[in-house]
Structure 1
């Protein structure tokens, strides 16, 4: 149970700093319509969460989103167990204290940090990117609040949850759309009350020189082909890892991907250099790929019970590629930095419109592309301001005096402003 202390109002308050969530339950893959469920220590499915996830799947959400929601609800369930509150009796105090706990808690880890312990929260001098810390980021807290609120909205609509949603919205001075004009669009209801502010992040770009360093540190033609493809068309890691052999159009130099959010298929133009590296990688495999076969495979054969064979490349193996590169260069680049690099290169090309960039990146809204990627290069801004300051500090040459006038008299008359 949570240790409580008395507040100024006489109401008991939780000692947030003393709370430690138990390792209760887990998220497991399931058969049927719901791909992920939350189970307790006895491997019994948590029914309220499963029913909500069933509705979530019926709304067309992807398995990755279902898994993400399941983990957020598992953490919320652990909090309710520590607080000693039934899920359908939660009040605003529980989400409020939960947010306070998330802001100061240390994320659980399966293994302790080793060489990266001293880098936590610091900024890499080469990439100027901050290393991840041990706490929960503001975006994680906001996502958790949104998931818990959606969970209770579902059960309140069913008439089986609490009377009022325990995760309130900020009313912004009144009830949202109370006097709505039917000729005007509905305004936003307001953000969740306990959402932390998220600082606006600039897109992360690999300058040309640093990109050459990264590319030179790669060990195989497979890695060179994969990264060259990513930096040319800006596809996400999950989208590239799902590419099959039939998704390559060698004549028009196109790669077909399945978009992460919508699930729609899209052909993306890819550089000739990337296709050269793909050809070299396929030659290294030494065996033809079936049309429906995955394109990216592990370089080493492993015995999975049916003899030695290659396995499809997954995200963890791709992260290992970047760990080797970052270890050699002293950097902290990620696969998503290549998407940012491709997007910024395209947005600065005068021959491409912002709509072109939006289509290639797969953004649903043009505003997303504009808000994130239409930015000035910081290095160019610094150089321009530096030239401005240099021009301001240089003494201006005195204008020549016309014949017949005394320069000293003009200085007295104009006060030295000539």
Structure 2
């Protein structure tokens, strides 16, 4: 018997997962109700990707319980400790490395939240509960007496070495050259798509998160007319940030021109292929290309993350890392990208600091804070202060000149 996830069950939202016991195909009612009530129907947790991650964490736990001969209804904090300790020494089949503290946290927190939910609905009476769960302990549970916050069992997140890796100027030029041509500056004979380069430009030249890039829509650009004589002048574009909070960001005319060119050319062609297959035009800007099995469908974040990693390796921006096959124990060396998508946002921050200083702005952090959408300036300064001394000469007027693209 095992637990698995399905996304094709009547009455659920598109992308909403449900858990089943197999091979009986019996709905795991308690876990599915938890996902529905606490995540899928919650406005603050509306991302299908979040639903999937939480469902996967629960599935991992319940299958561990089956292997360990533990009834989930009577599982204890001791079982949760065994689960944690097992993860800390196990090899991930995805990375070929031990699970990171962040991954272990991502597995344990949904489990504790599930048991809080099960306790509130009289489906669990053991000792796995959070501090919030302790506050709502019923009178019938007073006899347990020794309940403690299970969240204390979750490991602390280990600080990553060099977690922030802005691109050096030479690295960025190599990386962008591999990704593809600019939509408005394509050389004769270069038939590569411009979508990937354009998405990266929205990261390093504007500072958007990947989730914000993915929610850009074509309609907000239709009435925009970038002045070709002033490529570095900026216009305001609304983006949807964390918590579905909208903010305006400053976007240079050259990037708006590239975006419009992508819409009128490459995007229009892939939309036409999608229509021939009966697909309605998506509301998002970036779409799967003409060579995709599903042209005209929304482009996925995971695919772009893969493209960025592959481009880094092709450009030589990589390191060798040992990976262990969890089945055979054999160790091999593989090439791993030195940068990820989020590093484009970091690159924007550290280079914009120098742009603002060079242009005489005595408070460059305010510009960066507003553009990145940080609530507190202290967050911006704390994140980037130690990096700004490593990048770029002073006195540059725009970010493209700073990285040598002009």
Aligned positions of 1:330-369 closer than 5 A:
330-331=316-317, 332=337, 333-347=339-353, 349-350=356-357, 351=361, 352-369=363-380
Please tell me whether residue 27 in structure 1 is matched to residue 5 in structure 2.
yes
Aligned positions of 1:230-269 closer than 5 A:
230-248=203-221, 249-250=224-225, 253-259=235-241, 261-269=242-250
**One of 291, 296, 299 as aligned partner of 2:286:** 296
2:171 is matched with 210
**One of 308, 312, 316 as aligned partner of 1:326:** 312
Decide whether the 8 Å contact of 1:224 with 1:277 is kept in 2.
no
Between the aligned partners of 2:283 and 2:225, the Cα distance in structure 1 is 16
Aligned positions of 1:11-410 closer than 5 A:
24-29=2-7, 30-33=9-12, 35-42=16-23, 43-57=25-39, 58-60=41-43, 61-62=45-46, 63-109=48-94, 133-165=96-128, 192-201=152-161, 202-219=163-180, 220-248=193-221, 249-250=224-225, 253-259=235-241, 261-285=242-266, 287=268, 293-301=283-291, 309-331=295-317, 332=337, 333-347=339-353, 349-350=356-357, 351=361, 352-377=363-388, 379=390
Return closer, same or farther for 1:196/1:38 CA change in 2, 3 Å cut-off. same
Q: Determine which structure has more spread, i.e. the larger CA radius of gyration.
A: 1
Between the aligned partners of 2:200 and 2:75, the Cα distance in structure 1 is 48
Between the aligned partners of 1:144 and 1:320, the Cα distance in structure 2 is 23
SS at match of 2:64: helix
Where do 5+ consecutive residues of structure 2 fail to align?
Answer: 136-148, 181-192, 227-233, 272-279, 318-336, 392-406
The CA deviation at 1:210 is 0.9
Decide whether the 8 Å contact of 2:353 with 2:388 is kept in 1.
no
Between the aligned partners of 2:196 and 2:154, the Cα distance in structure 1 is 43
The CA deviation at 1:166 is 5.8
Where do 5+ consecutive residues of structure 1 fail to align?
Answer: 1-21, 110-131, 170-174, 176-188, 381-418
Return closer, same or farther for 1:212/1:83 CA change in 2, 3 Å cut-off. same
1:412 is matched with none
Return closer, same or farther for 1:302/1:216 CA change in 2, 3 Å cut-off. closer
Decide whether the 8 Å contact of 1:297 with 1:311 is kept in 2.
yes
Between the aligned partners of 1:281 and 1:38, the Cα distance in structure 2 is 41
1:114 is matched with none
Between the aligned partners of 1:321 and 1:197, the Cα distance in structure 2 is 28
The CA deviation at 1:377 is 4.1
Return closer, same or farther for 1:139/1:47 CA change in 2, 3 Å cut-off. same
Between the aligned partners of 2:349 and 2:17, the Cα distance in structure 1 is 33
SS at match of 2:6: strand
Return closer, same or farther for 1:326/1:196 CA change in 2, 3 Å cut-off. same
TM-score (normalised: structure 1)? 0.65
Between the aligned partners of 2:81 and 2:150, the Cα distance in structure 1 is 17
Between the aligned partners of 1:32 and 1:365, the Cα distance in structure 2 is 41
SS at match of 2:205: helix
Decide whether the 8 Å contact of 1:254 with 1:270 is kept in 2.
yes
RMSD: 3.3
Between the aligned partners of 1:281 and 1:236, the Cα distance in structure 2 is 20
1:408 is matched with none
Return closer, same or farther for 1:93/1:239 CA change in 2, 3 Å cut-off. same
Between 1:195-204 and 1:69-78, the stretch displaced more is: 195-204
TM-score (normalised: structure 2)? 0.67
Decide whether the 8 Å contact of 1:95 with 1:166 is kept in 2.
no
Provide, for residues 198-227 of structure 1, a one-character-per-residue CA deviation record: whole Å limited to 9, x for no partner.
115542200111111111222332222221
Decide whether the 8 Å contact of 2:351 with 2:388 is kept in 1.
no
The CA deviation at 1:286 is 7.8
Decide whether the 8 Å contact of 1:225 with 1:278 is kept in 2.
yes
